[in-house]
Structure 1
Amino acid sequence: MADTKQYDVIVIGAGPGGMTAAMYASRANLSVLMLDRGIYGGNLNNTAEIANYTGFKSIKGPELAQQMYDGATQFGAEYAYGTVTKVELVDNMKKITTDMDETYLAKTVVIATGSDQRHLNVPGEEEFGGRGVSYCAVCDGAFFKNKHLIVVGGGDAAVEEGVYLTQLASKVTVLVRRDELRAEPIIQAEAMNNDKLEFVFNTSVTEIVGDDVKVTGVKTHNNKTGEDGEMTADGVFIYVGNFPMTSAFKNLGILDDQGWVKTDERMRTSEPGIFAIGDVRDTPLRQVATAVGDGAIAGQQVYQYIKSMD
């Protein structure tokens, strides 16, 4: 344990919430480490445009990620790469282990691991991953210029990314399993005025089909009439919800039956010294703004907790 690096705070996840928590904690003169399994910014890096974050009429996701990182590290917060595999309680400290064979000790932990996108779990989805099946329009949309694309889902992400893809594709068809969209009205209005966007309701994808090289279409089922069909397409973009990235925390007893972290209004979990923020929480809204708000609260609460330990 002698070589194990120690910090006042370890923030697991460097998305908007995690970076905000790191900024607030480091401003309070605490030693802070952000750990992330990828580049800082999280899902911001997969978002073409953000138009609902206060202070910006419109800003590109990666640009906002960089600005947040610059703000988070200006007071001394550090950043390191690694997927956290385990958090253990050792006396009054928390021991964090990563897949990089690194271990760290911290007085407090802020869980900001967020959520990942659900899969349809239909035949062909895994087989054609990277060959026409995608979960990120910003990442892969450029490969489908002047092609017909299918977007699966009816929420904000599905509609927003469908609109984004119309800048590249010749046509985008959005398949919605319900009889209406769940996206915000302002997002729906923009989409409905887009001539290259088509919505097909009451429709589920039952299989993604293709040839030896790439996706060629999907098999569908009409949830109202029971009719099965098939639709040709060059790519399928899937946005059907998220699940929490919390497997490393199952041993702590802080998760609900769906795997979301349970907290109070001060971002405290049932385990003293462990906080959780952002999309990993059981929260009614998962947005950049709410994650940042959670992060600010957690950063201040971490300071109060450590102060009480002295």
Structure 2
Amino acid sequence: MENKIYDVVIIGAGPAGLTSALYAGRSNLSVLVIEKPTVGSLLMAHKIENYPGIQGSPTGKDIYNLMKEQTLKFNVEFVDATFLGFDLLGENKIVKTDKDNFTAKTIIIASGWAKNGAKKLPGEEQYLGKGVSYCATCDGAFTRNMSVSLFGKGKEIAEEALFLTKYSKEIHMFLTEDSDESEDKSLMETLKANEKIKMYYSSKLLEIKGEEFVEEVIAEVAGEKINCKTQFAFLYLGTKSLKELYGEIAPLDESGYLITDEAMHTSIEGIFAAGDVRSKMIRQVTTATSDGTIAALEAIKFVLKKQNLRAQYS
């Protein structure tokens, strides 16, 4: 997947995401679906008896498996990863995950109902914007001469830690893995050689503490609880709310769902939303597949228009 530019990247593998993947894949576009295979409303459904054409009482997982199998016939790719954010500055769009960053011509957000969002850690919401951040490259300049902590998988936080060396006086890297053997060796050696950086393995963030701003994090490292004085905590743990994940893409309604038009367009060209993540009245498998169909057709149209424009001026 490295350096590949996908025509469509889809965030979520519920009925909306899989329907979008089916339509886009069948149209001979390159498609990547970012999924968490054990998470989602469809997978949690014990029985489904109101999906047209499906006899009996299959489980949600049965229908998920049938949908995914169908998409694979059209060369749709899947990656098990946690979505972290976007980089929208270039002509193409970058989708950031805890596994890798993926480049896309267009994006369909189909990550599901807000209720399925990750649970906040103690202190995370309280100190958001007061030392808790999800993007070191966004907020690094505010950490000048401060002690900071990063939590997450090695590859994601390693790159962010390297960026922070320009500003922070002390950097604590709490890696969730038990080693860094699978990471970029030259990058990790560079970080280890930097006297500002200290690495912790097999780490788990337990709590963020402070008064008005972050002052301390409590973590479990290899089974032992430690307290670490810090003024910024950068989290790469998949705990963002829909507002934090998608607030730059589309306005949200009062319940926290993305507002789109009827063609699934968000406020940014080339980015669409489908399924339960959208602000709408009814949330059913059938309405999700309808949204997925519309989003895919709009994404296909977007990609083809761009291709035709390039052909005209090349």
The interval holding the TM-score normalised by the smaller chain is: 0.5 to 0.7
* Residue number in structure 2 paired with 1:81: 80
- Report the secondary structure of 1:19's partner residue: helix
Shift of 1:116: 4.3
Among 79, 101, 104, which residue is 2:102 paired with? 104
Among 274, 277, 280, which residue is 1:277 paired with? 274
Over the aligned positions, Cα root-mean-square deviation in angstroms equals: 2.4
TM-score (norm. length: structure 2): 0.55
Shift of 1:294: 0.6
TM-score (norm. length: structure 1): 0.56
Whichever residue aligns with residue 6 of structure 1, its letter is: I
State how far apart, in whole Å, the 1-side matches of 2:102 and 2:116 are: 31
Gaps in structure 2 of 5+ consecutive residues: 120-240, 308-314
Contact in 2 for aligned 1:114/1:245 (Cα 8 Å): no
Among 290, 295, 298, which residue is 1:293 paired with? 290
State how far apart, in whole Å, the 2-side matches of 1:64 and 1:49 are: 10
CA 1:118 to 1:303, structure 2 compared with 1: closer, same or farther past 3 Å? closer
Contact in 2 for aligned 1:8/1:30 (Cα 8 Å): yes
* Residue number in structure 2 paired with 1:38: 37
* Residue number in structure 2 paired with 1:27: 26
Residue 256 (str. 1) matches residue 253 (str. 2):
yes
Among 283, 305, 308, which residue is 2:305 paired with? 308
Contact in 1 for aligned 2:6/2:30 (Cα 8 Å): yes
Percentage of matched positions with identical amino acids: 37
CA deviation string 1:13-32 (max 9, x = no partner): 00011000000001111000
State how far apart, in whole Å, the 2-side matches of 1:89 and 1:117 are: 27
CA 1:296 to 1:80, structure 2 compared with 1: closer, same or farther past 3 Å? same
Shift of 1:118: 7.5
State how far apart, in whole Å, the 1-side matches of 2:83 and 2:112 are: 13
Contact in 2 for aligned 1:20/1:292 (Cα 8 Å): yes
Shift of 1:5: 3.0
State how far apart, in whole Å, the 1-side matches of 2:35 and 2:265 are: 21
Shift of 1:259: 2.4
- Report the secondary structure of 1:117's partner residue: helix
State how far apart, in whole Å, the 2-side matches of 1:246 and 1:52 are: 32
* Residue number in structure 2 paired with 1:52: 50
Shift of 1:92: 2.0
State how far apart, in whole Å, the 2-side matches of 1:61 and 1:258 are: 25
Shift of 1:246: 5.2
Whichever residue aligns with residue 273 of structure 1, its letter is: G
Whichever residue aligns with residue 293 of structure 1, its letter is: S
Whichever residue aligns with residue 61 of structure 2, its letter is: P
Gaps in structure 1 of 5+ consecutive residues: 122-243
State how far apart, in whole Å, the 2-side matches of 1:64 and 1:304 are: 28
Range 250-259 or range 28-37, more displaced: 250-259
Equivalent pairs counted in the alignment come to 185
State how far apart, in whole Å, the 1-side matches of 2:243 and 2:54 are: 31
Shift of 1:4: 3.2
State how far apart, in whole Å, the 2-side matches of 1:23 and 1:35 are: 14
Whichever residue aligns with residue 105 of structure 2, its letter is: K
State how far apart, in whole Å, the 2-side matches of 1:256 and 1:266 are: 17
Contact in 2 for aligned 1:261/1:282 (Cα 8 Å): yes
Whichever residue aligns with residue 52 of structure 1, its letter is: N
Contact in 1 for aligned 2:250/2:266 (Cα 8 Å): no
Residue 61 (str. 1) matches residue 69 (str. 2):
no
CA deviation string 1:30-74 (max 9, x = no partner): 0000001334x7322211100111112432211111001011221
Q: How does 1:1-310 map to 2 (within 5 A)?
A: 3-39=2-38, 42-57=40-55, 58-100=57-99, 102-117=100-115, 245=242, 247-310=244-307
- Report the secondary structure of 2:295's partner residue: helix
State how far apart, in whole Å, the 2-side matches of 1:255 and 1:275 are: 14
CA deviation string 1:152-211 (max 9, x = no partner): xxxxxxxxxxxxxxxxxxxxxxxxxxxxxxxxxxxxxxxxxxxxxxxxxxxxxxxxxxxx
State how far apart, in whole Å, the 2-side matches of 1:309 and 1:249 are: 24
State how far apart, in whole Å, the 2-side matches of 1:118 and 1:105 are: 26
- Report the secondary structure of 2:247's partner residue: helix
* Residue number in structure 1 paired with 2:159: none
Contact in 2 for aligned 1:53/1:288 (Cα 8 Å): yes
Whichever residue aligns with residue 47 of structure 1, its letter is: A
Whichever residue aligns with residue 64 of structure 2, its letter is: A
CA deviation string 1:247-276 (max 9, x = no partner): 322233443343211111111111100000
State how far apart, in whole Å, the 2-side matches of 1:287 and 1:270 are: 24
Whichever residue aligns with residue 284 of structure 1, its letter is: M
